[in-house]
Amino acid sequence: MSHSSNSDSPLPVIIADSNRMQSRLLANALQRRPEFKVSLCPFDANSMRQAVTLMRAKVLLISLSPSEPVAAQMATMHQVHLSDPEVAKILLTESYDRELVVSAFRCGARGIFCLANTQFRLLCRCILRVAEGQIWANTEQTRFLLELISDAPSIRVVDSKGWQLLTPREEQVVALVAEGLSNSEVARELKLSVHTVKKYLFAIFDKLGVSSRVELVLHAVNHCDRREADWIAGRNRAKPRA
């Protein structure tokens, strides 16, 4: 369901934060906006699950505590994501690095918002976009994800049972897109027309249930099974299979 600033029903948003003063300030600011209905809860898995159920929340804002281990906080977010995967999760942080970005998206985040460097109006836009099913990531965060995928020269995308979802050629397209290549560059690598590459991407998006290149990369981050490839982009390789 799409929510806009003109929506009659405010978007239910939960803020989970161990710092009650900080979360209250943020909640007060968001509550002044007519498009949001805001609630607070402690930062623990049970409290977040209960709050999501009671409020029928669409978005969960998770604020990291600098005094707690990041890995433990990511594990808590992942627990909530496994029980409520349909709730869009946004990680609020004062700073980030490659490890945090990769871990956050692997644990179910649909966006990362750095409070130290951006404006409040952008946070409002982030919440609305993520609620609509979009990904919120800046250029650097997207690059971290692309670098993670491009560490492997080929990607085998599998479902929860380990079954292969894509054809060998489609896997090659995914690997090249994950390296940041444009459609024309992918076409040049695989000796295909740009039109054919677009057809492959439409088929891949349909099979994986994604709608953009960023979502494709995120899907690969969470579901890929890395393997040795019979080809590597830009090097000598075996003839691509159709």
**What CATH code is carried by the domain that includes residue 114?**
3.40.50.2300
Asked if 126 and 168 sit in the same domain, the reply is no
Out of 168-182, 187-201, 204-218, give the one with best mean pLDDT. Answer: 187-201
Domain boundary among 108, 137, 166: 137
Q: How far apart are CA 101 and CA 209, in angstroms?
A: 22
CATH number of the CATH domain containing 185 = 1.10.10.10
Asked if 36 and 100 sit in the same domain, the reply is yes
Asked if 28 and 118 sit in the same domain, the reply is yes
Q: Give a yes or no: residue 183 inside a domain.
A: yes
Domain boundary among 111, 137, 163: 137
Confidence of residue 228 (pLDDT cuts 50, 70, 90): very low
Mean pLDDT (whole number) for 138-155 = 72
Q: Give a yes or no: residue 237 inside a domain.
A: no
Q: Give a yes or no: residue 236 inside a domain.
A: no
Mean pLDDT (whole number) for 228-237 = 42
Mean pLDDT (whole number) for 122-126 = 93
Q: Which domain holds residue 30?
A: 11-137
Asked if 96 and 151 sit in the same domain, the reply is no
Q: How far apart are CA 2 and CA 137, in angstroms?
A: 19
Among 81-95, 132-146, 174-188, 216-230, which stretch is predicted with the lowest mean pLDDT? Answer: 216-230
Q: Give a yes or no: residue 19 inside a domain.
A: yes
32: left (phi over 0), alpha (psi -120 to 50) or beta: alpha
Q: Give a yes or no: residue 240 inside a domain.
A: no
- In this prediction, residue 49 carries a pLDDT of 92
Residue predicted with more confidence, 91 or 7: 91
Confidence of residue 154 (pLDDT cuts 50, 70, 90): low
At 27-74, the pLDDT tens digits run 899 999 999 999 999 888 999 999 999 999 999 999 888 778 888 888
Asked if 129 and 162 sit in the same domain, the reply is no
H helix intervals, 34-150: 45-55, 70-83, 98-106, 120-131, 139-150
147: left (phi over 0), alpha (psi -120 to 50) or beta: alpha
Asked if 25 and 124 sit in the same domain, the reply is yes
At 92-109, the pLDDT tens digits run 988 888 889 988 998 889
For residue 156, what are the β-bridge partners? 225
